[in-house]
Structure 1
Amino acid sequence: MQNYYSSKVVLITGGAQGIGRGLAQAFALEKAQVVITDLDWDAGADAMQWLSKQHLSVEFIPCDVSKEQQVQQLMNKVRQQHGRLDVLINNAGIASPARKPLAQLSVDEFDTVLSVNLRGPFLCAKYALPLLEKGTNPTILNITSTRAFMSEPNTFGYTAAKGGLEALTHSMAVSLAAQHIRVNAISPGWIETGNWQKEGQKIAPQHSPEDKEQHPAGRVGTPEDIAEAALFLCSDKAGFITGQSLTIDGGMTVKMIYHE
């Protein structure tokens, strides 16, 4: 991005592992001042060490994005350290408890997923707003999922939350336009994150020919695929794009599959 991010302050929730770690690496490589937050302290420390070995630097601030007071404290720390925010990436999310039949899924289990995946982005945007208003060409990017548009059985909370986040994206885009804040989403499909976890939880990717053939692109996705799109959508090159959701799934959701 030709040094576009060299003076930018970028906050990535759920930035310690998986797609979030890939986003942190990509923005740090572009010389952004990257702040990651995560509920997992060990993963946050591991991410900072992993990036340090690449001569990249990020800040880690532990936070449970479903908790209003913790989000307020997070944004206060960003304000104290940087005074502004240019990019907010709402990436934090959980899938569990998953694959429980409707009759067996408790209200608390359903609410737990919604509280992180949907309430969290709302809280982060709400309390980041004063910082974003001080930023330069500020943007919010929500990481949703193709599960917002298609489902596997018994994934009620995750699917509902991601669908809600898609709607929240265009709602915020319209509502925050007066503050000149663009808001977009990326909807990832199957992204292999096994080797983007903290030490002790890394898993070497293993994909069958059938796994790859599900994708017209011929492979499963990687965090780098999401990060490259994020770098574009959060830059001035995407200055006329707001309220949109970009599906990145190797074409999987447009491929019709027949069983003979």
Structure 2
Amino acid sequence: MSLTKSQLNAQHCRDFVSTIHTAPYDTIDPAVVNLHSPFVVCIIGGRGAAGGGLARAYARAGASGLILAARTRTALEQTAKEARSISPSAKVIVSECDITSESQVKSLVDTVKSEFNGRLDVVIVNSGYSGPIIPDVVQESPDDYRNAFDVNLMGLFYAAHHLLPLLVATNSVARSLIAINSMAAPTVSGPLAHAHYCVSKAAQARLIEMINEQYSDRGIFCASVHPGGMRSDFSKDAPEWLFKLGAFCTWLSSPTNSERRRQVLNGRFLSCKWDVTELEARFDEIIEKDLLRFRIAVE
């Protein structure tokens, strides 16, 4: 079967480095990440396998404070319990928050101020929405379009709009805004190319690029991170596998030896499956060719 140019581009993006990891590995082990103290992380979408993996990774890396936000408090409490069991000294706060509600996202500002004196080192937007995979715009539901853009794009905008000022004001070399994106973002054809999800995720990645342009000179690092593949990621091994997403994000936002990393990767589209040593070996090429960004080719 021949592949379209879009499918080839998406495959090249998935295989940007030779070694693709499907489990945690020593180089990004959160236990060896040296997070300074205090270190406060807000995870919007802090429930489920991915949210739990993120929370456990930052707890293991030594974050002193975690804010876990999502629509369902009971699920958040389970994630919080896991984080506290890993790091009993960490202050873990749960907050009911629908990312499509600006007022609820704004309320996280009050939580950061009241619980952590306004300190905020890292914000991770992990919320996402996808309806049924129907690669036909006539057959796709208008409601799925609205929901996808409300969650995937407007949710990131609300988080950036209200939480970036706290990141800017925090005295930290690790200040980061990370959006959990998808390899669907560069995809426009094939059986998984359902437009409401692919287009909203592409728009989300583009917003990250623009935030980078506007805030990198104020010390803010931002990135879009692909969490992994499709169905196989939700097998019985998903919790361990998705822990690697958290491990990659702790590596990405670590304040240790991060100046070059932040300079090169700021605003770019990344995959948590890429081997980070091989990724670092391509840093000069990434800068020279301006890779891992969305752009229109004009010849």
Q: What TM-score, normalized by structure 1, do the two folds share?
A: 0.79
2:182 to 123, 138, 145: 145
Q: Which residue of 2 aligns with 1:256?
A: none
Question: How big is each residue's C-alpha offset from its partner over 1:145-202, in whole Å with a ceiling of 9 and x where there is no partner?
Answer: 11112354452211111111111111111111232111112123316664xxxxxxxx
Any idea what SS the aligned residue of 1:36 has?
A: strand
> Are residue 232 (structure 1) and residue 251 (structure 2) matched?
yes
Aligned ranges 1:54-203 → 2 under 5 Å: 54-56=86-88, 57=90, 58-82=92-116, 83-99=118-134, 101-135=136-170, 136-137=172-173, 138-150=175-187, 152-153=191-192, 155-190=194-229, 194=234
Q: Is the 8 A contact 2:59 2:84 kept in 1?
A: no
Q: Is the 8 A contact 2:99 2:151 kept in 1?
A: yes
Residues 19-65 of structure 1 show CA distances to partners (whole Å, capped at 9, x for unaligned) of: 12101000011221111111122211221233344455522111011
Structure 1 Cα separation of the partners of residues 57 and 33 of structure 2: 13
> Contact between 2:59 and 2:86, CA under 8 Å: does it hold in 1?
no
Identity of aligned residues (%): 25
Distance 1:94 1:5, change over 3 A: farther
Q: In structure 1, how many angstroms separate the alpha carbons of the residues matched to 2:248 and 2:184?
A: 19
CA contact (8 A) 2:68 2:80 kept: no
Offset of residue 66 of structure 1: 1.1
Structure 2 partner of 1:8 = 39
2:272 is aligned with 1:248: yes
CA distance in 1, matches of 2:205, 2:197: 12
State how far apart, in whole Å, the 1-side matches of 2:126 and 2:213 are.
Answer: 21
Higher alpha-carbon deviation: 140-149 or 56-65: 56-65
Structure 2: unaligned runs, 5 residues or longer: 1-31, 276-299
Corresponding residue for residue 72 of structure 2: 40
Larger mean Cα displacement after TM superposition, 167-176 or 94-103: 94-103
- How far the C-alpha of 1:250 sits from its partner, in A, is 6.5
C-alpha displacement at 1:78, in angstroms?
1.4
> Residues 124, 68 of structure 1: CA spacing in aligned structure 2 closer, same or farther, 3 A cutoff?
same
Check conservation: 2:33, 2:254, Cα contact below 8 A.
no
Pick 1 or 2: higher relative contact order, CA cutoff 8 A, min separation 6. 2
The CA deviation at 1:98 is: 4.0
Distance in 2 of aligned mates of 1:145 and 1:153:
12
Counterpart-to-counterpart distance in 2, 1:5 and 1:161 = 35
Q: What's the TM-score once normalised by structure 2's chain length?
A: 0.69
CA contact (8 A) 2:185 2:205 kept: yes
The answer to whether the 8 A contact 2:33-2:251 is kept is no
Q: In structure 2, how many angstroms separate the alpha carbons of the residues matched to 1:14 and 1:63?
A: 9
Aligned length, in residue pairs? 229
Does the 8 A contact of 1:18 with 1:223 survive in 2? yes
1:2 Cα offset (Å): 4.7
Shift of 1:245: 1.8
CA distance in 1, matches of 2:119, 2:151: 24
Q: How does 1:202-217 map to 2 (within 5 A)?
A: 204-205=236-237
- How far off is 1:249 after superposition? 4.2
